Amino acid sequence: MSVQLEKAKQSARKWLRRTIWIAFAGLLVFGAGYYVYRTYTISEGSRTGTLFKISKKGVLFKTYEGQLHLAGSVMMSQQSTWDFSAKDGTVYEALQQFEGKNVKCYYRQKVDAFPWQGDTDYIVYKVERVLNDN
């Protein structure tokens, strides 16, 4: 009877070990897929306008957020304002220099940005000043 009990214990250990490895592999594949989904770029482009707000904000994750009054719109409204997040401190510092001026922001739109990437799905990675041709 003791031999059968030992075989049952070994079988249970083998089954438990296999189940844990399968769960770990499944979790790893799910985590990698979720990361790729959240950081996938669905569009890339640029927007031009007057930079009127740039700030560092957040409770748990400090992110760099800005607003652009889009070129071509006379009145400032919800439709003529573009909210974005800056990629990092370097882009944030460049944006600070251009506050109140016409700029061109190059961005990547994410499917669903992680909270530490910013409040919006539009991540600005480069900015340059636009000089008027008047």
The pTM for the full model equals 0.75
pLDDT of residue 113: 84
The helix (H) or strand (E) run that includes residue 110 is strand 102-110
Provide the pLDDT confidence category of residue 1 given band limits of 50, 70 and 90. Answer: low
Nearest 5°: the CA angle 90, 96, 109 is: 60
Predicted confidence (pLDDT) at residue 134 exceeds the cutoff of 60: no
**What pLDDT is recorded for position 83?**
93
Helix or strand holding residue 12 (H, E): helix 2-39
Q: What CA–CA distance (Å, rounded) separates 89 from 125? A: 10
Q: What is the pLDDT of residue 131?
A: 84
Query: Residues of 45-77 as b/e, b for ≥16 C-beta within 10 angstroms?
Result: eebebbbeebeeeeeeeebbbbbbbeeeeeeee
Give pLDDT, residue 27: 96
| Positive or negative torsion for Cα 25, 26, 30, 36 | positive
One-letter identity of residue 71: A
Model confidence at 22, pLDDT cuts 50, 70, 90, reads very high
The pLDDT tens digits for 82-117 are: 999 998 889 999 999 999 899 999 999 998 888 888
pLDDT (tens digit per residue) in 34-78: 998 888 889 999 999 999 899 998 888 899 999 999 877 766 666
Task: Work out the average pLDDT over 14-26.
Answer: 95
